[in-house]
Amino acid sequence: MPSIRKKTVGNTHYYYLEHSYRDGGKVHKKELYLGMTVPDDIEKVKQQLLSDDYQEK
């Protein structure tokens, strides 16, 4: 399940959507930059990230 991560650089906050998954014995992580605020349609963005991840496999 993707999660939202907040990075703070100085006094500015940046939001990323990240998803980790295991492939064989390795853990892979995908990140998607969301911007300085979390978008209202975050569930749609999560589904897009998941579908992109599974298309690459």
Per-residue pLDDT, 56? 63
* pLDDT tens, residue by residue, 17-50: 998 888 899 998 888 999 999 988 888 888 888 8
- Amino acid code (one letter) for 32: L
- Whether the pTM exceeds 0.85: the reply is no
Rounded to whole angstroms, the Cα distance separating 10 from 29 reads 25
5 three-class SS: strand
